[in-house]
Every structure is written in structure tokens, then in C-alpha cells.
């Protein structure tokens, strides 16, 4: 009698999930602190007036009109983000999972991470508020409350602070922040000790990105047309006083490629950023000492 002798790999494998395991994804922050505009426009204009002064005087019934000037403030979309790959026909035919779906997911993750880094570095470059941390920066627990208090102090008293305060740090900074939280008062310390990292302190929302997010770059594949000098810097201030544009969000194309089986997958997006002039003081470039 003939008996088949089959390899165990002939049978279907059971996968832990339906898709290929994705690489670790970075947390995204830009949309939490900026206004996002997805309108399909090349420019977004926001004209503003020069400040008008009010005079308090003895009763006289006379006044002197002041001249005012309207200035143009414009966000221009001048950069694009592109990520692409090619899946051969034999790869998609003999795969146990949807390679096109998985590749699109991977491209999306890569693009939104690149956009987030681009926007955060533009945010750091755009503000005119400045703050030097005490020596040791955020990694010294004793510095954390002082840094947050200085952020509040620089921005307090303006109506825009109703949007809320924030600071964006890198993951290595959390050593000092968590230690500071664990030693700050009874209720707050208990929360930090029982639940771990508390994402708001003194009313300042704390956002964490990966080390290496804030960088020096000039017309690179990370910065596009922009120049950054942000290595060793962080950023904080008031939320929603800046805008980043992403016209129509991300788009995807599948196309045939001469001489190759299968399909090429391309992800495309367009980005622009503006720190609006009247609120530049509300975005603080923090230099870590």
C-alpha cells in the first residue's frame, strides 16, 4: 500500500495574528499640540494687525488716532513625504497573509512617524520663547518642577493659555521626570508610585517621543527643505497656537512597473507648518544644559 510522506510544513501554519508583526511604532504628538488642517490648499493665510495701544488720561475729550498696519502671515506647503516598496507577484501569491495590506500599513506607520518628527522640529524652530534648563536638564529630578514652572511663567496671563500648557521630552528624560513625580506631595506621589508615569504635572501636559527626535538637519531626507538646529533641545508652551497642514492626508498608489511582476506601492503626503507671528512667544525652545 502506498503511503504519503509529507513534511509538516505542508500543513497550514497558525499565525499569532493575521498579519506580519509590525515594527515598534513611535507615539505621535504633533496633532495633540498643533492645529491640523487637511484642506487641499497650497497656502493658508492669517493676516494680523499691529498692537493697538489704549490711553488712560485726565478728562479732555480729545484723542490722537494711531496708525495700524496689517501684516500677512502665511503657511506654505512646500514639502512632501514619500515612501514606496515593490511586492513581486510570486511573493503575494504564495504568502499566507495579505502582503499589500501589510505593506500599506508599514508605509503608513513610517510616513506618520516622519511627519511627526518634521512637525515637532519645525515647532521647536518656530517659537521665539526661550528657556535654558538648570544643569542636568530633565534627567535631574530637582530640575523638573523648576522647568515646568518656567514654562507656565513665560506664557501665563495670555488668553491663549486656555488651550493648555505642554512640554515634549525624549524618552531618556523620563528618568528625572518619573523620579520627580514619585517625590512630589502625597496624593501625586501615590498616583505616580501606584500607576507609573503621570502625563500631567503642575497643569502641564507631558508628551514623550523617542530619543533622537530633536536633531540638527539641513535639507536632508528628514527635514526636506528645512534647516533645524535642535539637537539637545526640547519644546513646550501653549497648545494650538501653531498649524500644520497635510492636504487631504495620505494617499496611496499601486502601479505596474515595466520589467517586474507584481505591483509597486507608493505612499504620498504633503506637509507645511506655521508658527503664527502673534503667538511666537507662546512656543518655547528649551535648551537642555
Q: For residue range 168-218, what is the model confidence (pLDDT) as tens digits?
A: 999 999 999 999 988 887 677 777 777 778 889 999 999 999 999 999 999
For residue 2, pLDDT over 70 is answered with no
103, 68, 58, 64: which is closest to 83 by C-alpha? 103
Sign of CA dihedral 230, 234, 238, 243: positive
Cα-based distances in Å from 157 to 163, 203, 235, 244, 282: 12, 15, 20, 25, 11
Measured distance CA(13)–CA(9) in Å, rounded: 7
Q: Which residue has the higher pLDDT, 50 or 5?
A: 50
Measured distance CA(242)–CA(33) in Å, rounded: 8
In a domain, 18, yes or no: no
**Tell me, what's the pLDDT at 21?**
60
In a domain, 19, yes or no: no
> Domain total for the chain?
1
In a domain, 50, yes or no: no
In a domain, 12, yes or no: no
Measured distance CA(32)–CA(213) in Å, rounded: 16
In a domain, 211, yes or no: yes
The pLDDT-based confidence of 249 (bands split at 50, 70, 90) is confident
Q: Which residue has the higher pLDDT, 265 or 197?
A: 265
Percent of the chain with pLDDT over 90: 63
199, 284, 205, 288: which is closest to 242 by C-alpha? 284
Q: Which residue has the higher pLDDT, 24 or 6?
A: 24
In a domain, 7, yes or no: no
What pLDDT, in 10s, does the model give residues 125-162?
Answer: 999 999 999 999 999 999 999 999 999 999 999 988 88
In a domain, 60, yes or no: no
HEC sequence for the chain: CCCCCCCHHHCCCCCCCCCCCCCCCCCCCHHHHCEEECCCCCEEECCEECCCCCCCCCCCCCCCCCCCCEECCEEECCEEEEEEEEECHHHHHCCCCCHHHHHHHHHHHHHHHHHHHHHHHHHHHHCCEEEECCCCHHHCHHHHHHHHHHHHHHHCCCHHHHHCEEEEEEHHHHHHHHHHHHCCCHHHHHHHHHHCCCCEECCEEEEEECCCCCCEEECCCCCCCCEEECCCEEEEEECCCEEEECCCCCEEEEECCCCCCCEEEEEEEEEEEEECHHHHHHEEEEECC
Domain hosting 249: range is 24-40+76-287
In a domain, 13, yes or no: no
Measured distance CA(289)–CA(285) in Å, rounded: 13
Amino acid at each position: 500500500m502506498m503511503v504519503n510522506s509529507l513534511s509538516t510544513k505542508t500543513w497550514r501554519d497558525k499565525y499569532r495574528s493575521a498579519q506580519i508583526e509590525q515594527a515598534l511604532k513611535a507615539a505621535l504628538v504633533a496633532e495633540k499640540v498643533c492645529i491640523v488642517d487637511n484642506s487641499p490648499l497650497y497656502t493658508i493665510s492669517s493676516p494680523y494687525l499691529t498692537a493697538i495701544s489704549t490711553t488712560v488720561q485726565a478728562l479732555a475729550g480729545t484723542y490722537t488716532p494711531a496708525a495700524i498696519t496689517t501684516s500677512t502671515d502665511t503657511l506654505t506647503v512646500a514639502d512632501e513625504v514619500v515612501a514606496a516598496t515593490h511586492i513581486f507577484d510570486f511573493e503575494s501569491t504564495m504568502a499566507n497573509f495579505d502582503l499589500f495590506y501589510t505593506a500599506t500599513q508599514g508605509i503608513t506607520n513610517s510616513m506618520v512617524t516622519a511627519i511627526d518628527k518634521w512637525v515637532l522640529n519645525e515647532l521647536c524652530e518656530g517659537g521665539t520663547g526661550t528657556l535654558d534648563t538648570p544643569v542636568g536638564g530633565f534627567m535631574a529630578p530637582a530640575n523638573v518642577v523648576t522647568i515646568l514652572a518656567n514654562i507656565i511663567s513665560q506664557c501665563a496671563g495670555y488668553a491663549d493659555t486656555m488651550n493648555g500648557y505642554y512640554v515634549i521630552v525624549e524618552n531618556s528624560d523620563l528618568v528625572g521626570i518619573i523620579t520627580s513625580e514619585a517625590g512630589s506631595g502625597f496624593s501625586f506621589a501615590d498616583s505616580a508610585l501606584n500607576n507609573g508615569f503621570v502625563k500631567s504635572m503642575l497643569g502641564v501636559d507631558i508628551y514623550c517621543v523617542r530619543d533622537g527626535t530633536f536633531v540638527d538637519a539641513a535639507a536632508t531626507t528628514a527635514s526636506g527643505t528645512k534647516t533645524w538646529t535642535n539637537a539637545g533641545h526640547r519644546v513646550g508652551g501653549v497648545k494650538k497656537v501653531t498649524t500644520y497642514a497635510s492636504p487631504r492626508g495620505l494617499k496611496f498608489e499601486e502601479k505596474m512597473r515595466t520589467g517586474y511582476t507584481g505591483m509597486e506601492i507608493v505612499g504620498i503626503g504633503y506637509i507645511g507648518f506655521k508658527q503664527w507671528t502673534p503667538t511666537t512667544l507662546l512656543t518655547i525652545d528649551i535648551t537642555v544644559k
